[in-house]
């Protein structure tokens, strides 16, 4: 690490320093700096924060500033000539005076305060002046200072207080040996934004969003006084560049920044140093700094394509997408058909929202490089994302032929088949991807998804067992032997809960088969509120809520593992629907009427993490979009939505009967469903419950929701389900049409819900 010895200016008495700068040097430096600053800004009043013995106050008075003011830390002995106008800040650098100033100077105090006090100091400076002349130590500038910070750190703090940075002084002063190097290296102007707009003299100052981190070469003369002396060969820019390149190769980006900053002080027009600084800054998450250096590099080597590409990435990272596009377009004449340039231009156009232009570039790339799988697969994915799934599938199949060993392409191709509801076609691609990555749990579960979409497949249930390698908030019962198909004659078996109520309801269909195996008892652990409903299943001895004491049993098995074990005994075909029934004595009082009774639940529920499906929000149809359902002639809509979402219905007042106050649990929910002619539901437990009861359920699905349990074609999971898939507005129109026809049939006495 580079270190610089501390420059002692007399601004903070009591601080030890290895370098004592004569007061005359400080006053001369202050006078030159103030002359330039006053000429730029036209300032007539001044406040020096950290005024010490008054070197800057004397320089200000010498330039005709009447009655300059000063502020310093408590305990500082004020300069006698300015005692009347000197005040003290608090111990954290904060202060509040009775007036504002045209110019505030603070060139030493920031380095004496801990980082926790920086925000307080910057706020006070910004509140007291339109222009702030500011300097603070760079990192490792002195072994005796508090840890320094690069200029962009201070620029961000000032920006939070309504000031922009203008780095106009350092370039003018860099070689002026009359000024101490520490000021030449660190001094910046910060200007209040409202003053910049209102003051013509200030509006000429250019903004510098990310001032460069620089180390002045004159600072190296003081190395012998620092605690750590670097090798002599590192004093030249070339040696520093060599060290920076080695640090970059080693991944030490912070070191690269330090070395390049030092080298640029002696070689400011070196393109390699600027490029290295840009690359390291990007890696450190500082795209503004990176863009500044890449821009300087490109100005020095305008035809160097890799630099242009790096510059484009930095511009995109700071949101300057149009600038990135324009800068890349400039290279099209000198680098026609270059694949890297085309790729960067496509990315910039996409980020800029220029969809048609981005597609044109990608299509051109694929046409010019037809055997390059990157562009074949990239264009296929683009078509898919923009609604042309047919062309996307064709191209992705070509990409799979170009690179048959790519698991990523195979997986993507399988996903495209899944989106097209071609689950059987997805299977071979998933199998091929698994051959290349056999222990990939997500691939295994996607294969289970595809296999189970078309049938109650023994192989699909076997693949589903891979879910047990995922984190599960309902682990298998500890201390109880797992049932793997052993004889259950006279045994007691516990089926444990997994995931949410939808999965419990879905897999409860396999519970009746257990009675054929002769167990003494079958107990089911389930989510609270499901106990009464699941107790109606034939062969179930009793139910216990999750987190309750478990009964004494011989074996236990998670409910999603039950079909895999039953498949091994050839029992999967012995399933019936309905498999859930109303508990005895449960009845829901809804008046008899000729109107078609529609049960409605609009709030979706997310699937377990093992399924790649939309979020709960994406599965929920906006309540107000469903308003047309309440106006279908011959229909009455009853809300089956419970919980906090039911309140939204009461607030909306859209003509739907709210049943939530009389649905305390799943048994009462089932009783309400039993009184409906049809249930219209988002993808949630209401849909599963209605289908398990054998009730007609019309399911609203978003286009992206390819849940294997709900298919447009008839399916053994839920044969009474009918899927309405599309954007929500389209789905609602389809439902209105279907309900209108059904209501007419019921009035005519021939209604049959399908």
**pLDDT tens sequence across 535-579:** 999 899 999 999 888 999 999 999 999 999 998 877 776 568 899
User: CA of 676: how far to CAs of 497, 692, 695, 746, in Å?
Assistant: 29, 14, 8, 13
Q: Quick check: 298 pLDDT over 60?
A: yes
Helix-helix angle 407-419:389-402, to 10 degrees: 160
Mean pLDDT of the chain: 85
Q: Residue 262, Cα to own-chain centre: how many angstroms?
A: 36
- Residue 685: predicted pLDDT: 92
Do 164 and 207 meet the contact criterion of CB atoms below 8 Å apart? Answer: yes
Highest mean pLDDT among 142-156, 159-173, 683-697, 698-712: 683-697
- Residue 247: predicted pLDDT: 85
C-alpha to C-alpha distance for 753 and 679, rounded to whole angstroms: 10
Q: Which tens digits make up the pLDDT trace of 588-638? A: 888 777 889 999 999 887 665 455 555 555 788 888 888 899 889 999 999
C-alpha to C-alpha distance for 58 and 511, rounded to whole angstroms: 93
C-alpha to C-alpha distance for 68 and 43, rounded to whole angstroms: 11
Residue 529 structure tokens? 């509120």
- Residue 21: predicted pLDDT: 64
C-alpha to C-alpha distance for 324 and 349, rounded to whole angstroms: 9
Choice among 119-128, 134-143, 445-454 with the minimum mean pLDDT: 134-143
pTM of the model: 0.60
- Residue 428: predicted pLDDT: 92
- Helix H, strand E, coil C: the string for 413-467 is HHHHHHHCCCHHHHHHHHHHHHHHCCCCHHHHHHHHHHHHHHCCCHHHHHHHHHH
Q: Is 284 helix (H, G, I), strand (E, B) or coil?
A: coil
Residue 736 structure tokens? 């209105």
- Label residue 243 by pLDDT band (50, 70, 90): confident
Tokens 């005359």 identify what position?
24
Q: Quick check: 388 pLDDT over 60?
A: yes
Q: Which tens digits make up the pLDDT trace of 27-38? A: 999 999 999 999
Enter the DSSP assignment of 579.
Answer: -
- Label residue 23 by pLDDT band (50, 70, 90): low
Highest mean pLDDT among 108-112, 122-126, 581-585: 122-126
- Residue 174: predicted pLDDT: 84
Residue 88, preceding peptide bond in cis (omega within 30° of 0): no
Q: Is 405 helix (H, G, I), strand (E, B) or coil?
A: coil
Choice among 162-166, 229-233, 385-389 with the minimum mean pLDDT: 229-233
- Burial pattern 667-704, b for ≥16 Cβ within 10 A else e, equals bbbbbbbbbbbbbbbbbbbbbbbbbbbbbbbbbbbbee
- Residue 91: predicted pLDDT: 67
Measured torsion, CA atoms of residues 651, 654, 656, 658, in degrees rounded to the nearest 10: 0
Choice among 10-19, 43-52, 549-558, 643-652 with the minimum mean pLDDT: 10-19
- Residue 8: predicted pLDDT: 27
Neighbouring CB atoms inside 10 A of 589's CB total: 8
- Residue 568: predicted pLDDT: 81
Phi/psi for 402 (5° steps) reads -70, -35
- Burial pattern 485-499, b for ≥16 Cβ within 10 A else e, equals eeebeebbbbbbbbb
Choice among 14-23, 33-42, 196-205 with the minimum mean pLDDT: 14-23
Name the helix (H) or strand (E) containing 47: strand 46-49
Residue 52 structure tokens? 């010490």
Phi/psi for 401 (5° steps) reads -70, -35
Q: What average pLDDT does this structure show over 441-451?
A: 91
- Residue 679: predicted pLDDT: 97
Q: Which tens digits make up the pLDDT trace of 452-509? A: 887 888 899 999 999 988 876 556 677 899 999 999 999 999 999 998 899 999 999 9
- Residue 499: predicted pLDDT: 87
Return the ∠ at Cα 587 (arms to 586 and 593), rounded to 5°: 170
Strands 481-482, 555-558: parallel, antiparallel or unpaired by DSSP? parallel
Rg of the chain over all Cα atoms, to the nearest angstrom: 37
Q: Which residues contact 46 (CB under 8 A, 6 or more apart)?
A: 34, 57, 60, 65, 68, 69, 101, 102, 103, 104, 105
C-alpha to C-alpha distance for 280 and 298, rounded to whole angstroms: 16
Name the helix (H) or strand (E) containing 359: helix 355-368
Q: Is 264 helix (H, G, I), strand (E, B) or coil?
A: helix
Do 507 and 562 meet the contact criterion of CB atoms below 8 Å apart? Answer: yes
Q: Which residues contact 552 (CB under 8 A, 6 or more apart)?
A: 492
- Residue 189: predicted pLDDT: 96
> Which one is predicted more confidently, 651 or 205?
205
Closest CA to 58 of 31, 36, 38: 31
Q: Quick check: 11 pLDDT over 70?
A: no
Q: What average pLDDT does this structure show over 126-134?
A: 95
């Amino acid at each position: 690490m580079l270190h610089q010895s501390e420059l002692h200016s007399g601004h903070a008495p009591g601080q030890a320093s290895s370098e004592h700068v004569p007061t005359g040097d400080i006053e001369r430096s202050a006078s030159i700096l103030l002359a330039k600053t006053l000429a730029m800004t036209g300032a007539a009043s001044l406040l020096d924060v950290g005024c010490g013995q008054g070197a800057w106050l004397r320089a200000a008075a010498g330039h005709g500033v009447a009655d300059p003011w000063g502020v310093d830390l408590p305990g500082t002995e004020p300069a006698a000539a300015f005692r009347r106008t000197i005040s003290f800040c608090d111990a954290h650098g904060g202060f509040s005076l009775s007036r504002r100033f045209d110019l505030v100077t603070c060139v030493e105090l920031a380095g004496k305060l801990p980082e926790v006090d920086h925000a307080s100091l910057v706020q006070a400076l910004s509140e007291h002046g339109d222009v702030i002349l500011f300097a603070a130590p760079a990192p490792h500038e002195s072994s005796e200072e508090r840890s320094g910070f690069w200029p962009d750190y201070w620029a961000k703090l000032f920006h939070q207080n309504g000031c922009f940075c203008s780095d106009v002084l350092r370039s003018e002063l860099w070689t002026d040996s009359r000024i101490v190097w520490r000021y030449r290296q660190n001094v910046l102007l910060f200007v209040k934004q409202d003053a910049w707009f209102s003051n013509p003299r200030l509006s000429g100052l250019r903004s510098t969003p990310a001032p460069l981190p620089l180390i002045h070469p004159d600072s190296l003369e003081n190395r012998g006084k620092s605690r750590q002396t670097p090798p002599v060969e590192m004093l030249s820019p070339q040696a520093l560049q060599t060290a920076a390149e080695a640090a970059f190769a080693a991944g030490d980006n912070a070191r690269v920044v330090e070395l390049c900053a030092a080298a640029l002080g002696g070689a400011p027009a070196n393109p390699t140093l600027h490029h290295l600084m840009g690359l390291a800054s990007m890696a450190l998450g500082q795209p503004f700094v990176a863009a500044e250096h890449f821009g300087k590099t490109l100005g020095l080597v305008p035809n160097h394509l890799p630099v242009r590409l790096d510059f484009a990435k930095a511009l995109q990272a700071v949101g300057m997408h149009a600038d990135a596009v324009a800068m890349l377009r400039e290279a099209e004449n000198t680098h026609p058909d270059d694949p890297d340039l085309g790729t960067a231009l496509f990315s910039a156009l996409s980020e800029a929202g220029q969809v048609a232009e981005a597609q044109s570039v990608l299509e051109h790339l694929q046409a010019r490089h037809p055997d390059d799988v990157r562009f074949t697969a990239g264009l296929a994915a683009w078509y898919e994302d923009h609604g042309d799934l047919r062309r996307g599938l064709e191209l992705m199949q070509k990409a799979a032929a170009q690179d048959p060993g790519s698991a990523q392409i195979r997986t993507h191709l399988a996903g495209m088949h899944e989106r097209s509801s071609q689950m059987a076609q997805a299977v071979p691609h998933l199998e091929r991807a698994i051959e290349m990555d056999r222990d990939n749990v997500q691939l295994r579960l996607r294969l289970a998804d595809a296999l189970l979409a078309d049938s109650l497949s023994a192989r699909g249930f076997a693949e589903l067992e891979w879910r047990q390698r995922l984190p599960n908030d309902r682990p298998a019962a500890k201390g109880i032997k797992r049932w793997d198909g052993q004889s259950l004659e006279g045994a007691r078996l516990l089926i444990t809960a997994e995931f949410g109520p939808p999965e419990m309801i879905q897999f409860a269909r396999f519970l009746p088969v257990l009675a054929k195996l002769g167990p003494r008892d079958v107990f089911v652990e389930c989510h609270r509120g499901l106990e009464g409903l699941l107790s109606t299943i034939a062969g179930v001895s009793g139910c216990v809520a999750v987190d309750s004491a478990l009964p004494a049993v011989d074996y236990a098995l998670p409910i999603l593992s039950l079909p895999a074990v039953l498949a091994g005994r050839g029992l999967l075909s012995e399933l019936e629907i309905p498999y859930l029934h109303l508990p005895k004595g449960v009845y829901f009082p809804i008046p008899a009427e000729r109107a078609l009774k529609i049960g409605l639940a609009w709030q979706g529920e997310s699937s377990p993490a093992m399924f790649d499906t939309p979020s709960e929000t994406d599965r929920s149809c906006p309540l107000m979009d469903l308003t047309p359902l309440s106006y279908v002639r011959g229909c009455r809509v009853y809300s089956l939505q419970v919980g906090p979402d039911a309140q939204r219905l009461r607030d909306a007042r859209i003509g739907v009967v709210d049943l939530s106050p009389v649905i305390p649990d799943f048994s009462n929910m089932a009783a309400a469903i039993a009184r409906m002619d049809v249930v219209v539901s988002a993808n949630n437990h209401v849909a599963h419950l209605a289908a398990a009861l054998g009730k007609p359920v019309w399911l609203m699905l978003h286009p992206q929701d390819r849940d294997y349990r709900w298919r447009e074609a008839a399916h053994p999971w839920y044969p009474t389900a009918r899927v309405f898939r599309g954007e929500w507005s389209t789905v609602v129109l389809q439902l209105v049409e279907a309900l209108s026809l059904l209501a007419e049939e019921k009035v005519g006495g021939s209604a049959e819900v399908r």
